[in-house]
Structure 1
Amino acid sequence: MSNTISISPIANPDSKAGQSSHAAGPAQVRGACPHDCPDTCSLLTTVEGGIATRVQGNPDHPHTGGVLCNKVSRYTERTYHPERLLQPLKRSGPKGSGQFEPVSWEAALADIAARLKPIAARDPEAIVPYSYAGTMGQVQGESMAGRFFHKLGASFLDRTICASAGGEALTQTLGGKVGMRVEFFAESKLIIIWGSNSIGSNLHFWRYVQQAKRACAKLVCIDPRKSETAEKCHEHIALLPGTDAALALALMHELITHDWLDHDYIAQHTLGWQDPDGGLRERALQWSPERAAAVCGVPAEQIRALARDYGECMVNKQPAAIRLNYGMQRVRGGGNAARAVACLPALTGAWRHRAGGVLLSSSGLFPVDKAALQRPDLLNGRQPRTINMSTIGNALLEPASREFGPKIEAVIVYNSNPVAVAPESGKVVQGFAREDLFTVVLEHFQTDTADYADYILPATTQLEHWDVHSAYGHTDVLLNRPAIAPMGQAKTNTQIFRELAAHMGFTEPCFTDSDEQLCRATFGDKVDFQQLLDTGFATLALPDAPFAAGNFPTPSGRCEFFSARLAAAGIGGLPEHLPNHEAAGTSVQFPLAMISPPARNFLNSTFVNVKSLRDIETEPLLEIHSDDAALRGITSGAIVKVFNERGEYRVKAEVSARARPGVVNGMGIWWRKAGLDGTNVNQLTSQHLTDMGRGPVFYDCLVEVQRETEAA
């Protein structure tokens, strides 16, 4: 096969004009931000002489409004990074040494296929894909890759590492990943930001919040950490990690006792409020503010005040809105907590207003045709086992057995960096270091995971390929056009899997579908693709207030306080507070709870190696409250050892008011190789799972901290 680099042909005049316009002077190419962020911004890339010189927000896209976050505004630094991988590499040293030698595409793909074929002949389930949201694109994500692994018969991957607990909670309560439309937060009179540092992780939502604030809305932030967002709100409730359900139930208690309830909405549009065997009303009445205060570690009066603010919005017919985020669901009871919060708007009838309700994710509103993209029919009736990506450390070390299935012999990693981001990374490293594990990594850079690869295949960045994007923070579909040709020998994910399929001998016509065909197939006739070509985005046709008259996409058509599906699965049908696997105050040996919120200028482990952004973050830090620091003789700048039974992590301490007493904040997610001892905060997190959704519990973690030395 040729190593010639080309963009997949797209049959529309604009793409040809875009290529020829490079010689005529600067051109602007419309695209979409690919990263795991609710904002899914529309981009404009300025191209001169075939070089991308600037990436900026598209002013014509209402949600983007011409504004980008600090990270993506520097996207050209990432695309043209001096450490960018631009040719295939083959391992030449021990696993994890990072030693590689260049190899041709033909040699790499031929050898990969030669290594995979005998494994597949023995048992294709011994081959595991590992991917997540390195790109959120429907095409460069799981389209051609899904087809490849379905045809192969490889193990399924349960993609749980970010949002599965909260997603399951919404599905069981509201009927799907649905909620209010983000733009109407600008009209809300009370906005509760629950488990989110919106300034850093949801910038464009924050713009709507600022509009509401200027119109005299009250802002409340619920978060264990005093984030940048908490500082800008009128009230900050710094509860202990994993106690959100207790707080939500106590709010319900106050709504009931003060009769701040919309009885008509409850009667017509909810299920499970009152029941002879006990409904949500009875459960909530068990949670007085005093009881919740003892669990949450906050004053009872603060709980009463929030309930009063929320309830009086109902009394005064003013909209109250909750922006729920994924931080609060990364604990044992995260799903129950998300369910409890999602019940609140139905109690007060907040859904009657277009500026009322709750928003965790809007992704369930997009009519993505996953079957057309991923072609599950290629399985031919097979039902491979499923590997949970959140427990990949255990899975890679598991021997073959009747319960587990075959030992994992090969992993193909794309759009992810599991050695850095998966929990209990000591075990993840141990698994990837197996000499008998064949590992292929599609990447832009030599990440922690790429260090353990047998082959690294250079992938294109967002500026170099076609894709189409849904969103989970707004309701627009976006098209991404390639602004520049792929650099060096980089190939799109789709092209890599097309060529690998050919080397495996797969002859189905679907493996020759172009990226344009894949883009068009994503939504079929449900989205006007010509509009995407013409403007770069298209807005879904949705009602302003989706649940004003009920019509929830649940089996009952109501907001389900009681979920018969959960009860049938052996999980409580009503929301409840479940203590953490490692609850604060339950261990003398490890007395501090640790959360690991994202550093503002990184996105998970992406952008860590972009120098201008790394210089802002400076280095890995552990935020610790002055009370906890004084007990341990720790001052800002001291090197500390953070440890538990899973491992230890050496890092610089920062005595900070951002940390509440009893909780330390291990800012993440740095590449392990950037750590003092080649580790990061996930050395300490566990592979325990959430109550529903099989998600990870990154914020359900007890540690101790000891001072080592003062920094030089």
Structure 2
Amino acid sequence: MPFSVCMRDCYDTCSMVSEFKDGRLTVRGNPRHPITSGFLCPKGALLSRWFYSQDRLKNPLIRAGERGSGEFRETVWEEVINLVADKLREIIEEYGSESVLVYQYAGDRGVVNYDFPLRLFHYLNTAMLDYGICDRAGQEALKDVYGTAVGMDPEELRNQELIVYWGINAFWTNLHGFMLAKRNNLEIWTVDVVRTETAKRSDRFFQIRPDTDVLLALGVAKVLIEEKLHDEEFVRENVYGFEEFRNYVKALSLDYVSTETGLSVEQIEEFAKEYAEKKGIIHIGYGFQRSLAGGEAVRAIAILPALVGHRFGFIYDMKTIDKGYYAEGAFLRAKPAKRIPQMKLAEYIERGEIRFLYVYNSNPLASLPNQRRLRRALEENDIFVVTHDIFLTDTALYSDVVLPANTFFERLDIADSYYHRYVALNEPVARLYGKSNSEVTRLLAKALGINNPYLHESDEEVIRKILEINGLSWDELKRNGFVKVPEKPRKWETPSGRIEFYSRRAVERGLTPFPEYKRFEGRYPFRLLTPTHRMTITSQYHNTYGMIDPNLYINPVDAERRGIEDGDAVEVFNENGRIRTRAKLSTDVPKGVVLLYKAFWVSLLGWNANFLTTDETVQKYGNGSAYHSTWVDVKKV
């Protein structure tokens, strides 16, 4: 039976076994995989429904009406590939190669399907994305402290007593990691603004106000140091700037921390004392660092594991294999790439700097903020848009050319994980519709008359080379469906060669040497949070699974003040736009906060939370996104 791997943008990267029963594809978890353990999440269990969806694109499309109207004519591959190649030549000749932008992200995380098309655009010397949408702020913050964002191997949880899920709803977004902690009998704590499913299943829940994560972490650090609960020997031998940090938190009042976070002084002290006793591991989430306070919060949280004696006592990212440079062919460039910030796509289109947009593995007209501005930019500017996707997404509807993609069940690939240290094999099982990203890249290269061999390598050649570069066995991968990447000796890649509480790297980038708390205020009364829904991966599966929750979650006290009852129609609005939905009263959401799940399809639902989120604000930490620094008002309609 063929091996498959779920290519979704998810921590778990499940190894699966695919087979046909009664002529229909079925999938199940690979029982031999140490992390994903032979079971699938609710989304994974429904993959055959996604695979067989009647909405899959079957033939290439060329726009026949106004942009966004959904009017297309079907065509054949030869015509559409020649059209795209001709437009590429024309636009590069008239406006230069940097007027072309390839926009892709992690809608499919297969190494070949993610990276291979970039070879063509590197060869053409086009503009490239600067990826700030997801975990950039946390990445930069962790590098300020440890020199890396790669934390602990989760298999080491078997030797731990406590895991703190800080700003992550792991039961929804890292189910196998959550169950791994359960199997190893770890005590589970959650720190979050919302009482999530993870919080409800935790041993302890610390509910804090938005943006106060940095202050809670500094308060806990203060107690650890002043009560001499920290690992003095480890800190003395491995930490840079401890004395300065001690003086920094000395001036911090626990009463102030309590007032701002909403936790009592006793809760803060209790957190510190039990965390030190159990030498807790912290799984730092991605969601909460997508705010103006996100980078500072991650930097403050990152200090806590070192205080209790952990070399890398956090979980955030797991970059296990060297793949990017070779797989994406950055060496094919003749000049440095112009990088366009992901969050500023609309702005660059408005300025006329992007004339050709090639989109794959992504649905920016669902996932990017300030959707009204982005749609207007595409409608009002001279730009040619190509989208390669499995479905007629919101982005495809705004495209000039739509190329049907195949699914990961229809091609060869491998995928690594940003949670664990395993690379998994994906073998083709069947063939229904569309072409892979690498197939289309080879066709375009041929149509452009490019004979460079790196643009015509087969998928297997690329995979074997990636495995060879990383010292991994193709035979073992074929035999088991996965292979573990050995961990190399690690060190702190900071200027001092130590864990930096006083961050020299941060200072060099114009930031303060220590994490800094700042209170942010908006023009509207409610802070809008837009987390992912359990049954979607950003915009994926909305059209195939349909089990979404479009309600606005609001605290009953806030609702009563506006005369809103459960189920009432409400309007949510700010300077970016307005949407209409229904209210769901819940004490899981604190006062002053409202919640909408993110990135649903506008073409199906009629609206999307990203008609409200901001694109004007990015963080000092690597231009990281600030979705959760959006403020709105709500009224009954």
Give the distance between the partners of 1:286 and 1:470, measured in 2 at CA: 44
Question: Equivalent residue for 1:14?
Answer: none
Q: Which amino acid in the other structure matches residue 258 of structure 1?
A: E
Give the distance between the partners of 1:248 and 1:575, measured in 2 at CA: 10
Among 263, 266, 269, which residue is 1:304 paired with?
A: 269
Counting only pairs closer than 5 Å after superposition, residues 247-266 of structure 1 correspond to structure 2 as 247-266=216-235
Q: How big is each residue's C-alpha offset from its partner over 1:239-267, in whole Å with a ceiling of 9 and x where there is no partner?
A: 12222111111110111121111111111
Counting only pairs closer than 5 Å after superposition, residues 70-149 of structure 1 correspond to structure 2 as 70-122=42-94, 123-143=96-116, 145-149=117-121
1:498 aligns with 2:442: yes
Question: Equivalent residue for 1:326?
Answer: 286
Superposition RMSD on alpha carbons, in Å?
Answer: 1.7
Give the distance between the partners of 2:24 and 2:345, measured in 1 at CA: 38
Name the SS of the counterpart of 2:336 in structure 1.
coil
1:171 offset after TM fit, Å? 2.1
Contact 2:103-2:128 at 8 Å conserved across structures:
no
Give the distance between the partners of 1:533 and 1:177, measured in 2 at CA: 30
Give the 3 Å change call, closer, same or farther, for CA 218–63 of structure 1 in structure 2: closer
Among 520, 524, 542, which residue is 1:608 paired with?
A: 542
1:209 offset after TM fit, Å? 2.1
Name the SS of the counterpart of 1:139 in structure 2.
helix
1:86 offset after TM fit, Å? 1.3
Question: Equivalent residue for 1:202?
Answer: 174
Question: Equivalent residue for 2:364?
Answer: 418
1:159 aligns with 2:159: no
Q: Which amino acid in the other structure matches residue 13 of structure 2?
A: T
Q: Which amino acid in the other structure matches residue 336 of structure 2?
A: Q
Counting only pairs closer than 5 Å after superposition, residues 30-429 of structure 1 correspond to structure 2 as 30-47=3-20, 52-122=24-94, 123-143=96-116, 145-212=117-184, 215=185, 217-274=186-243, 279-313=244-278, 319-351=279-311, 357-363=313-319, 366-380=320-334, 382-399=335-352, 407-429=353-375
Name the SS of the counterpart of 1:44 in structure 2.
strand
Name the SS of the counterpart of 2:295 in structure 1.
helix
1:558 aligns with 2:498: yes
TM score, norm. by length of structure 2: 0.96
Question: Equivalent residue for 1:23?
Answer: none
1:536 aligns with 2:491: no
Give the distance between the partners of 1:570 and 1:350, measured in 2 at CA: 28
Question: Equivalent residue for 1:516?
Answer: 460
Question: Equivalent residue for 1:690?
Answer: 619
Question: Equivalent residue for 1:11?
Answer: none
Name the SS of the counterpart of 1:70 in structure 2.
coil
Give the distance between the partners of 2:624 and 2:168, measured in 1 at CA: 18
Contact 2:129-2:340 at 8 Å conserved across structures:
yes
1:222 offset after TM fit, Å? 0.8
Give the distance between the partners of 2:253 and 2:9, measured in 1 at CA: 38
Give the distance between the partners of 2:341 and 2:246, measured in 1 at CA: 35
1:523 offset after TM fit, Å? 3.6
Q: How big is each residue's C-alpha offset from its partner over 1:434-461, in whole Å with a ceiling of 9 and x where there is no partner?
A: 3621000000111111110101101111
Q: Which amino acid in the other structure matches residue 626 of structure 2?
A: V
Give the 3 Å change call, closer, same or farther, for CA 187–629 of structure 1 in structure 2: farther
Name the SS of the counterpart of 1:237 in structure 2.
strand
TM score, norm. by length of structure 1: 0.86
Contact 1:45-1:52 at 8 Å conserved across structures:
no
Give the distance between the partners of 2:224 and 2:198, measured in 1 at CA: 26
Contact 2:209-2:261 at 8 Å conserved across structures:
yes
Give the distance between the partners of 1:101 and 1:299, measured in 2 at CA: 63
Give the distance between the partners of 2:381 and 2:513, measured in 1 at CA: 46
Contact 1:253-1:285 at 8 Å conserved across structures:
yes
Q: How big is each residue's C-alpha offset from its partner over 1:115-172, in whole Å with a ceiling of 9 and x where there is no partner?
A: 11121113111111111010111110022x1111011111011122111111122222
1:555 offset after TM fit, Å? 4.1
Name the SS of the counterpart of 2:102 in structure 1.
strand
Give the distance between the partners of 1:504 and 1:294, measured in 2 at CA: 63
Name the SS of the counterpart of 1:349 in structure 2.
coil
Give the 3 Å change call, closer, same or farther, for CA 638–465 of structure 1 in structure 2: same
Question: Equivalent residue for 1:591?
Answer: 525
Question: Equivalent residue for 1:671?
Answer: 601
Contact 1:336-1:578 at 8 Å conserved across structures:
no
Contact 1:190-1:309 at 8 Å conserved across structures:
no
Give the distance between the partners of 1:423 and 1:631, measured in 2 at CA: 29
Give the distance between the partners of 1:556 and 1:523, measured in 2 at CA: 33
Contact 1:391-1:423 at 8 Å conserved across structures:
no
Contact 2:386-2:401 at 8 Å conserved across structures:
yes
Question: Equivalent residue for 1:5?
Answer: none
Give the distance between the partners of 1:322 and 1:411, measured in 2 at CA: 39
1:660 offset after TM fit, Å? 1.0
Name the SS of the counterpart of 1:192 in structure 2.
strand
Give the 3 Å change call, closer, same or farther, for CA 466–286 of structure 1 in structure 2: farther
Q: How big is each residue's C-alpha offset from its partner over 1:383-434, in whole Å with a ceiling of 9 and x where there is no partner?
A: 23211112212222124xxxxxxx2111000000001100111111112223
Question: Equivalent residue for 2:569?
Answer: 639
1:76 offset after TM fit, Å? 1.0
Contact 2:532-2:538 at 8 Å conserved across structures:
yes
Contact 2:6-2:13 at 8 Å conserved across structures:
yes
1:187 offset after TM fit, Å? 3.9
Q: Which amino acid in the other structure matches residue 371 of structure 1?
A: Y
Give the distance between the partners of 1:39 and 1:173, measured in 2 at CA: 26
- Between the two proteins, the alignment pairs up a number of residues equal to 634
Name the SS of the counterpart of 1:633 in structure 2.
coil
Give the distance between the partners of 1:191 and 1:661, measured in 2 at CA: 28
Contact 1:414-1:443 at 8 Å conserved across structures:
yes
Question: Equivalent residue for 1:16?
Answer: none
Give the distance between the partners of 2:128 and 2:310, measured in 1 at CA: 40
Give the distance between the partners of 1:254 and 1:324, measured in 2 at CA: 21
Name the SS of the counterpart of 1:142 in structure 2.
helix
Contact 2:543-2:604 at 8 Å conserved across structures:
no
Q: Which amino acid in the other structure matches residue 415 of structure 2?
A: H
Contact 2:166-2:283 at 8 Å conserved across structures:
yes
Name the SS of the counterpart of 2:113 in structure 1.
coil
Give the distance between the partners of 1:514 and 1:572, measured in 2 at CA: 48
Fraction of identical pairs, as percent: 32
Contact 2:102-2:358 at 8 Å conserved across structures:
yes
Name the SS of the counterpart of 2:546 in structure 1.
helix
